Structure 1
Amino acid sequence: MAKRNFFSLANSISPAAAHMTWASKTVAGTVARTRRFLTRQIWLWPIIAVLLLSTLGWWVNGSIERTMEDNLVSELETIRDVEVAMLKKWMISQENIARSVADDVDVRRLALEILNLGAADHDGSDLEAINNANASLGKLLRPAMNSHDYDHFMLLDRTQVIATSRADARGLAIPATLKPLVAKAFEGKAMVARPYKSLLSNVDDTGQLRAGVPMMYVLAPVVDEHLQTVAVLGLQIRPEREFTQLLQLGQIGKTGETYAFDANGLMLSNSRFDHALKLDGMLPEEGPSILNLLVRDPGGNISKGYRPKKLRSELPLTKMVASASAGNTDFDVAGYRDYRGEEVVGAWTWLPEYGFGVGTEIDYSEAFRPLVILKRTHWVLMTLLAISSIAIFIFTLMMARLQVQAREAAIEAKQLGQYKLEEKLGEGAMGVVYRGQHAMLRRPTAIKLLNADRVTDLSIGRFEREVQITSNLNHPNTIAIYDFGRTPEDIFYYAMEFLDGIDLQTLVDRYGPQPAGRVIYILKQVCGSLYEAHCAGLVHRDIKPANIMLNRRGGEGDVVKVLDFGLVKAKEDRGEGESMAGTPLYMSPEAIQLPNSVDACSDIYAVGAVGYFLITGKPVFAADTLVDLCQMHTSEPPVPPSQRLGQPVPAELEHAILSCLEKSRARRPQTARDLAKLLDACPAADEWTLDQADAWWSAHERGVTPPSTGQKTHSETYDATMLFESE
């Protein structure tokens, strides 16, 4: 005898009547003791503590790191800005001094005299006069040079040195480094030239006379009586005396330094690491870093033995120089390599008016030393917490496994609370249905229980919701709920009336299309069940042949029972972004397009689709893909049942079915009772009698082909019928 209860039921198996074995009792006892421990939720506290400490640790670590980064950025930017401000103030001061000296009346007179003598001396006859004027200019400038620590002076025209305190420099062409600044000076601007290597021999800071000694010049225009620039006065500055000293004030900690550089990465001041750079072979033994060191990224830490595979001039600029030379004022506290290959943090800016940049850097390890210690401590704690978490997780898994074993043992022993389990009737994704009996009432009962490996808060909530909703429905055509419970082994179950009939899907698959009178008789009962649910504010959402059972009950045949209220939805529940729920072959257009707007009319559409299936033996639409099927439901009109069946169908029944399948809800019967009245008005409603139903069930139960049914056909089902199932 075919059996069906909530699922497409499996073949029956022999009922086991064995009592719980000694092993299952032992497992159950162990779990019972464990359960008492777990119910006090002691096991949750270590896990909560681990999660809280982990979260707190990450938060504290992140907060401290962000605070340190903010403070470091502020400190680096302050040092950079203070250094730049001091440099600008010093250079402006030098420019003002040079302009003041160049504006002296006697300086202007001697400069014009030298220019005129030079222009008139074509045969060298005025050389003595030029020398005397040069000496007079030097004597005139000496007090100012001494008071402001200038070493030499130069008087320049647009191409060469025309007067100087150094005899070997007179007549030399203007160095390429100074040409742009000399041009600006002829435009009336006083300028300080960045450091460059002198072409002539000079005494360096060690007292040795050599060429290429770093020099700087401050240039100022010399004007005539018409205020036209006729020459440029240059005063020589030794960069190590003030320029470099100002930058060295920006040294912080053991590794912090501030230095200047040009767009090519050439260092324009001294590094604080000159000695270490010489030991690492980055500088010659006798040379300083100023104008000798390129600020390039070596690709690795040279102090730790790394050696680049390229010449230093072929290496890329460091991040700081590349950014600053592009005109950016920025910082980086995430870390980058400096010219030593050491990871540093820094802040930098570019001074376009002077043609060089200024940067402040400090080693990452020193800048974040407290954070490094904190991180190490954090990782040690996280490791310990991780070990604790793993241990707790393993313990939880062991307890869960014991619980599952206890559930399986209880089911294997065929004892579930007050119910004795017999044969397994069916199984779905979330639950299993058994035939059983109440220990006292001895009444045949269908018992649905959650799968042992699927017990979650969500599944339990849905399970309980299905029971609560169904138990509040009292219509005789709705499945009746007897009991709901939870065993000591944490098995959730509910007991309902046992149905030994056949679902409509199996009915059509086995016996083919059904007579019009019988279809009406079945659909009217479905309408009765749904009318009660709709009046209670509920929408079934999964009406389909497999969820409607046909039974012999109370001596009557063809008693309908509507099953599976697992997807039922309250009408007032209008959640945002809800996904499709139901079976695609029987879903209404609005259930596909606007799942959160389903109502009673959506169930009526599904009833019409079930009626169509019963009368034709085929679903309303058949397609190769789910997308195509949904498109048909939303836009394609159904083929009339008579045309699909290939033989006449009572016009009134066909009209009732097609009215249910209208795309617009407003054109469908508005209530299940309206549909029942429409069906009741069909002349064919009287064509199926109780006697015919009894005869059919008698033949069905004997296993012979029942009378008064259509020919068996192969149902054109679509694979997606199992998608979006309630189980």
Structure 2
Amino acid sequence: MLPLSHRPLSQFRTAIHGAFGRSWQSVLISLILLSGIATLLLGCLDVAVRHSMQQMTRRSLRVRLQSSIDSMQHWQNQRLVEALAVATQPDVQRTAVAILNRQQPQVSSPVAEEEATDVESLVASMAMHPIDDQCVCWALLNIDGRVLHSDLGSLDSVNLPLPTDAFEKIIQRKPSVTRPFRCPVALTRSGRLSQAKAPVIAVLVPITEEARVLGSLAWLVDPHDEFRQVMPTVNEDTACSTYAFDRQAVMLSPSRHQPELRRIGLIGEEPSSTSILSVQLRDPGADLTRGGRITDKVSDWPLTEMADQATRGATGENVSGYRDFRGIQVIGAWRWLPEQALGVATEMEVADVYAPLRWLRWTLWVAIGLWVATTAGLIGSVMLTPWLTKRLGPKLESRQLGRYQLNQRIGHGAMGTVYSGSHELLRRQVAIKVLEGDKWTSTTASRFAREVQLTAQLRHPNTIAIYDYGRSDEGTFYYVMEFLHGITLQELIDDYGRQPADRVIAILLQICGSLSEAHHHGIVHRDIKPSNVFLTAQAGIYDMVKVLDFGLVKEISRETTELTQTDSITGTPMYMSPESVRDASSADARSDLYSVGAVGYALLTGLPMYDSGPSVDICLKQLNEAPLRPSERTGADLPEDLQNVLMSCLRKDAAERPMSMADLADTLRHCRDHDHWSNADAMRWWQNVFDGPTLTKPIEPVLPS
């Protein structure tokens, strides 16, 4: 806290003494101090109790979520085992293959008679091998999902609208349990499935002959009964709700709030109406349970916080509170299951979970309010107003550096502050990095000048462009660079998880191009990491890479001892090469190769090479511990050739890494997935997956700082 001037302090004492006298002054100051201490203690108690309850709630949510997922997967595996046992019966297999081979309509002929015989044989065989009492009916489907024969006549010749990934698994000869979809015809005479468009689940087993996939056997199941069995938390007598949803945030399981959903208009008023395939997990912005029925368009609402993260493949939890699809504050845990292409979430209402904290929080707010009002009323006008005017007044003035107007601060770091700005004549939006006065020393000024001078030598389209450099009349150093719209690779990993191999290769090739030019000019970056690589779009080229922050660059041809020693304490341990950890002055182009490999590793896995921890632990791992292969780190099936390239960059011995950035780029081009990620693919990602503002509007960038 800054010291108070003698004059305001004297004014404060005079005001108190004149109003209350000396005894009242002592009493009032004592009351302020005591109430402040009591408020602080009460606040600490509130924080401690809330933290303890949040930890217990977090564990409870995780257990409930995992239990539901395990139950669902167990149910799916059980159904698949039963279906495979029937589908692989010799008589079932033989007759199904024969029917599928004659699926084209035939005029009355011996072939048609044989088909009728096969159909009767299949019906008889299926009747001998029922898989489950919950199964509504079975059907034989061709490769396009059209029903050829079924034990339910109304299904014959109907095209079942199976999910797209279900067809893909049939082609891949994988049995599967589909997500719920709407059956075009009624399946029962009464109950939930007695109307067309009722939700059903299909258990599918491909029917093959040698190398050909002919079609599949399907068993249709009522999802209401099944989900209530596999997700035991979905019932009317618990405050906890667990449900499944698809990539479009559409609910796939029944909700315990269905009567309430009918009342507020999220589903139809008919008793048979259901939340399955009808409710979207969107935030209405207000509590619908207290505000009547819905009047505006649900599709215009944003996704709930849970749905927004989960549908992008994230696993997470929130024990602080967010609005659910009814607008009620809930806490929850969620996980996306890529194999099933669905997410599962467990939620509990905040009012139920944190009810014991309500009175404690109200007491705390009353105490805070009384203390703040008393303190602010006594000293605010006497002491704080002049002080704040003096301290903040000059900062409200706009800043001008040369021909450039500085606007909002958008970045801050050890080497300066970055502002958005514009040229007073060109009106072009730019980013301006300023070496502020409190950071100015002869060393920082030399480093600042070296950064801009070396970066300005580079012309590669994947290197951030420098427009101008100067020093104001007041002695402030600054330089001007292009203003970028988009996200850093670190934000890409944090928000969207691991990336496909073809996209990783496309990004790494652009980084190699930028650094190859830098190395050709004798410049080593030394701080390549996901937050220093920007992803944007320019002139219709999507996924355009920009390498940022050459603040730690080193000239290979000449080195100054002073600058090297300053740099030796900088860098990011998770992406530093072993030789850079040992001695920053020994870093060369091969150190950048190591960092590029580490960036590629993070993109491919969605994780850094090592678990996070103290910097010294990471440095020790960089020196002594080889990272796991990406497939071992994630448990996913990843391209071996790309893994080999990344692991070659991450060799502890610099001599065993690729010879140069050009050599690394050439190796990447020989990977199987090279050239699979096109500009059209990138454009679709930015338009359909990226959840930030469109690139035609200003996006707050993360610039080098």
Q: What TM-score do the two structures reach when normalised by structure 2?
A: 0.47
Q: Greater RCO between the two (CA within 8 Å, min separation 6)?
A: 1
Query: What is the TM-score when the length of structure 1 is the normalising length?
Result: 0.46
State the structure with more CA Rg: 1
